Amino acid sequence: MHDLGFFALFLICGLSVFVFRAFIPQELLTMYLVGISIVFLLSAILMRQNNHRKKYFDVVFAFFIAAFASVLQQIVVSVGWWSGSTVSDIATSTVLSTVLVVIPIIVLTKIAGSNMASIHIAKGRFWLGFAVGLAGYILFFVTSIEGATTLFAGKNLSLERVLPWMPWIMTFVLSNGLREELWFRGLFLKKFEAFVGSKTANLLQALVFSLAHIDVQYTPELLSFLGITLLLGLAFGFLIQKTRSLLGAILFHAGADVPVVIGIFSNL
């Protein structure tokens, strides 16, 4: 029951950062994100100052970091810097999004007194992660045109049409793989494990990761996509736990994004 309570609490906190925003009116979204950031920050400060509650500081502060990164992204969107509808525009926006997530996570983790291994930025079992991640990348890459056509409404796709997009596809998927693996899993897995164990922690992050895609517009098969995203989230998390590094999951995730991006680009 104790683990179940933590699971429910962390799930609600994760949904508040990554999922509830889909149901907030756009004109109120910045205020909402700033509000939950302040709540998490003040809660983390109070936890750190109380000897009995200090053990909760890391996980609460992680929710603050995640929410703060969302605030930065929303500010960029609201001032119009996140615009453009060409292949290069979309890839460039993804790089900007990655910078706005990765830098705050690293800087604030250091400010909190934690090392990079706490967020799985570490060599870990390098070759295992690299081999599994590369295999996953190749698998998705070689089936990307079929996947884009089946799940992501890809139009008039052929190798000849896709090849000129490859530099932008690679830019997009590697940036997004780094951003989402650090944001959803690197930041949270070890913090969750301290309270609910490794298997439940992995399920928890995968649920949040999957539901965070509930408002995507790039697939007509949303339920199937959410199910696939849940399974991939579990696989990515398991790989991080076994290798103690983000590397393999980033590569695997990047491969899984290739058919998504091809589908999006084909509809521009």
Q: Which of 191, 184, 195 is nearest to 236 (CA)?
A: 184
Residues 52-80: tens digit of each pLDDT: 899 999 999 999 999 999 999 988 877 66
- The pLDDT of residue 75: 86
How far, CA to CA in Å, does 153 sit from each of 148, 161, 168, 266?
A: 6, 15, 19, 8
- Amino acid code (one letter) for 107: V
The model carries a pTM of 0.96
Cα gap 119→10, rounded to integer Å: 17
Residues 112-143: tens digit of each pLDDT: 999 999 999 999 999 999 999 999 999 999 99
Backbone angles phi, psi at 251, to 5 degrees: -65, -45
CA dihedral 144, 145, 146, 148 (to 10 degrees): 80
Residues 2-56: tens digit of each pLDDT: 788 999 999 999 999 999 999 999 899 999 999 999 999 999 999 999 888 999 9
% of the chain beyond a pLDDT of 70: 97
Angle at 132 between CA 136 and CA 216, to 5 degrees: 40
Contacts of 30 (CB under 8 A, 6+ apart): 71, 74, 75, 78
